[in-house]
Amino acid sequence: MTRRIKRLAEFDLSLQIKDPAFINTPRDYQKNWLLNRSMNEFARDVYAMHDVASKFVQGSDVQGMDDRTQAELTDFEIMEDWQIPIMQAMAEVVTAKRGNILEIGFGRGVGSNLIQQCGVDSHTIIECNDSIVGRFEEWRKQYPDRDISIKHGLWQDVLPNLAEFNGIFFHTYPLKESDYVEQIANSTTFAEHFFEHAANHLHKGGIFTYLSNEIDSLSRDHQRILFKHFDSIELSMVSNLNLPQQVKDQWWADSMVIVKATK
């Protein structure tokens, strides 16, 4: 049995490896190096969490979720305003090479406006909610000469029939409780379930961006999943987000990492 204990002023970390064949390096010191690296990194991460936690807003009580596939939602229920700077940063990332852009989830049309302002050759939007498609039809009227089209349906049904794009902007939410458990509670990041589909629908060199749900850096786990599907990742950060104390979304930090994943 291999045992490691790291004692710090504020907490202790203990790791016990039960299977002697687990992490089976050619030399013992290599195993030590890997384990020490992981323990040190985890300890530093706990200190970083301590720092960000001091700036968390209070948030709201967690409530059960009704199916919202076809719910009639207010602007606030679709997307709270504090996310607008994130939409801006994502729109700039996804349009870096202009071309043909796919956006998943029209919502309030904030991201769509910003994508249009950045300038693109074509803009395809996938949206499943009938009332939000109604909002899109109204919004579309301000851009009569642009190449903008909507595919009405779940991306799971619509995307297989679409070709490849130069950029994909993904911003949906879980539609029902079982999606929430699978896509948020049991995932590294919400958009993880979409990574392989994004990669399958991008040209070589195409760009993918999504709401990362990462506060101040990208976890190793998150990076590893991205590198399964993309050749490179570039990170930036949006800070000073103006979250209300009683924010409804499950997000409490005043920053979020913006990911540009390139195929």
Which residues would be at the binding site for ligand SAM (CB under 6 A)?
Answer: 78-79, 87, 104-111, 126-129, 132, 154-156, 171-173, 175
Q: Which is nearer to ligand SAM, 109 or 206 (CB)?
A: 109
Shortest distance in whole angstroms from residue 157 CB to ligand SAM? 8
Shortest distance in whole angstroms from residue 171 CB to ligand SAM? 4
Q: Which is nearer to ligand SAM, 126 or 205 (CB)?
A: 126
Q: Which is nearer to ligand SAM, 158 or 237 (CB)?
A: 158
Shortest distance in whole angstroms from residue 215 CB to ligand SAM? 19
- Report the phi/psi class of residue 105: left, alpha or beta, with left for phi > 0 and alpha for psi in -120 to 50: left
DSSP state of 185: I
Residue nearest to ligand SAM (CB): 107
Contacts 24+ apart (CB under 8 A), 145-152: 146/116, 147/121, 147/122, 147/123, 148/112, 148/116, 148/122, 148/123, 148/124, 149/122, 149/123, 149/124, 149/125, 150/106, 150/124, 150/125, 150/126, 151/124, 151/125, 151/126, 151/127, 152/127, 152/128
Shortest distance in whole angstroms from residue 32 CB to ligand SAM? 46
Q: Which is nearer to ligand SAM, 107 or 206 (CB)?
A: 107
Shortest distance in whole angstroms from residue 68 CB to ligand SAM? 7
**Calpha distance 118→102 (Å, rounded):** 14
Q: Which is nearer to ligand SAM, 24 or 63 (CB)?
A: 63
